[in-house]
């Protein structure tokens, strides 16, 4: 993967692009929200569609010359419809955050009430955190997971909904390792006449493959990102029943965005085609099997996992008991030195801060893309253990870095 055209104009950026490819090839990407898109998706996203203005929707644009933009967007919509089984799909949101904002803007008035999961318990900034405008425009209360088990507390959520009487309940999370029972959240929403937005950003690929139960057909609105467990390039998506289609479409454009990023829509179309191939289901199953193997080995090595394990692509490790003197930030830094890239993360009942939390979150979506199996993931768990047991020991970090490079060589990327 060279960037000769960039290099001719701008060697500094070309150097950074090539260094980034080397970084992805030679280190383990375990940030749970990341993956490696195929060359086909990367090419589509890096295409001349970036030049095209296509405000509007296929067949009804505000600009001329949109016939190929229409083709690309129609393909993305058709494929997403087939993958997820939704009545209506909008593939234009620039990101998962903007997909969520479109739902709020379509269905709520300023001052309306949102009930969503607390950020430190696995929620997302776009679910009403005060640092996002959503948190300032609407009245937000938050539910929590059960502090003992780490599982969602569906009864507590239903009681909270009775008291707060929200206009919308948001489900779907950034750091929740367990299967979500969408129908129980829908029941809580129905009982207070609220909408239900299921944000499957992290598990879009698992849902597409049928490896996680789908909220489509249960929740009123389903949003997702297209670059996490599905490999369709950076972006967002909104799905809903036909009755809300016009409201959602006008909330995406012109409500929250201008012209769609047609190069990203092209990437989505290609990535969705790949996800419709039979081997995508095998990929999604392997991703989950790998996360389970990673979690089991970490637990065997003495770590405690929030909820004691995982049903999806990520594990959340609470370091407080096993490594009381090591924060999630310390662990993240030492692991990065060793070539294992993941993030410090808050855990339920957080006692440190969001900037230097008590846990680490690790995902297997990107490792699985480059060919890792359960045995490899157990090896990775052992490498993580060696580093987190001795984060200040430079010789340990250097040894692990070598083992990481060997694993990377055995599982090459972007050949
Ligand atoms: C990642 C994520 C999003 C989308 O994030 P963007 O960076 O805006 O694409 C939305 N919701 C949840 C729960 C997420 O984890």
Q: pLDDT (tens digit, 0 to 9) for every residue of the chain, 415 residues total?
A: 789 999 999 999 999 999 999 999 999 999 999 999 999 999 999 999 999 999 999 999 999 999 999 999 999 999 999 999 999 999 999 999 999 999 999 999 999 999 999 998 999 999 999 999 999 999 999 999 998 999 999 999 999 999 999 999 999 999 999 999 999 999 999 999 999 999 999 999 999 999 999 999 999 999 999 999 999 999 999 999 999 999 999 999 999 999 999 999 999 999 999 999 999 999 999 999 999 999 999 999 999 999 999 999 999 999 999 999 999 999 999 999 999 999 999 999 999 988 899 999 999 999 999 999 999 999 999 999 999 999 999 999 999 999 999 999 999 999 8
**What lines the ligand 1 site, CB under 6 Å?**
33, 95-97, 124, 126, 172-174, 199, 201-202, 225, 236
DSSP code string of 380-395: HHHHHHHHHHSTT-HH
Q: Which of 99, 126, 205 to mutate to test the pocket of ligand 1 (most atoms within 8 A of CB)?
A: 126
From the CA of 95, give the closest atom in ligand 1: 9
DSSP state of 239: E
CATH class assigned to 280-410: alpha beta
Report pLDDT for 46. 96
Question: What does the alpha-carbon distance between residue 42 and residue 414 come to, in Å, rounded to a whole number?
Answer: 11
Report pLDDT for 414. 94
Question: Is the pTM value of this prediction over 0.95?
Answer: yes
CA atoms within 13 A on the CB side of 275: 33
Report pLDDT for 1. 78
CATH class assigned to 43-275: alpha beta
Give whole-number Cα distances, 354 to 170, 327, 340, 345, 359, in Å: 21, 11, 21, 7, 10
Ligand 1 center to residue 104 CA distance, Å? 15
Report pLDDT for 2. 82
Ligand 1 center to residue 20 CA distance, Å? 22
Segments making up each domain of the chain, as ranges: 43-275, 280-410
Q: Which of 176, 199, 224, 226 to mutate to test the pocket of ligand 1 (most atoms within 8 A of CB)?
A: 199
Max Cα–Cα distance, the chain, nearest Å: 62
């Amino acid at each position: 993967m060279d960037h000769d055209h960039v290099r001719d104009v701008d060697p500094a950026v070309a150097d950074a692009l090539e260094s980034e490819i080397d970084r992805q090839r030679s280190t383990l990407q375990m940030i749970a929200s990341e993956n490696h898109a195929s060359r086909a998706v990367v090419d589509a996203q890096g295409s001349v569609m970036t030049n095209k203005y296509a405000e509007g929707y296929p067949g009804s644009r505000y600009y001329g010359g949109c016939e190929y933009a229409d083709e690309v967007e129609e393909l993305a919509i058709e494929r997403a419809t087939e993958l997820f089984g939704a009545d209506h799909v909008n593939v234009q949101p620039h990101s998962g955050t903007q997909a969520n904002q479109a739902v709020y803007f379509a269905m709520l008035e300023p001052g309306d009430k949102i009930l969503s999961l607390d950020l430190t318990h696995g929620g997302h900034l776009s679910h009403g955190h005060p640092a996002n405008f959503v948190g300032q425009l609407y009245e937000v209360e938050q539910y929590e997971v059960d502090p003992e088990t780490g599982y969602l507390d569906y009864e507590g959520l239903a009681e909270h909904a009775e008291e707060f009487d929200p206009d919308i309940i948001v489900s779907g999370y950034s750091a929740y390792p367990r299967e979500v029972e969408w129908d129980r959240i829908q029941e809580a929403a129905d009982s207070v006449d609220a909408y239900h937005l299921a944000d499957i950003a992290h598990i879009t690929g698992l849902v597409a493959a049928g490896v996680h139960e789908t909220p489509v057909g249960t929740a009123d609105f389903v949003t997702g990102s297209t670059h996490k467990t599905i490999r369709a390039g950076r972006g967002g998506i909104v799905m809903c029943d036909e009755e809300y289609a016009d409201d959602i479409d006008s909330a995406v454009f012109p409500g929250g965005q201008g012209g769609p990023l047609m190069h990203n829509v092209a990437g989505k179309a290609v990535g969705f085609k790949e996800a419709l191939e039979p081997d995508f289901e095998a990929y999604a199953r392997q991703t989950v099997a790998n996360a389970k193997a990673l979690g089991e080995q970490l637990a065997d090595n003495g770590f405690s996992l929030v909820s004691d394990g995982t049903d999806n692509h990520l594990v959340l490790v609470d370091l407080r008991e096993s490594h009381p003197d090591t924060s999630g930030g310390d662990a993240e830094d030492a692991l990065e030195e060793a070539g294992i890239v993941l993030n410090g993360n808050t855990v339920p009942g957080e006692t440190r801060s969001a900037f230097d939390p008590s846990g680490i979150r690790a995902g297997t979506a990107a490792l699985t893309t480059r060919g890792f199996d359960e045995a490899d993931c157990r090896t990775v768990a052992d490498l993580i253990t060696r580093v987190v047991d001795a984060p200040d020991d430079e010789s340990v970090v250097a040894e692990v870095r070598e083992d990481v490079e060997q694993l990377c060589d055995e599982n090459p990327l972007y050949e």
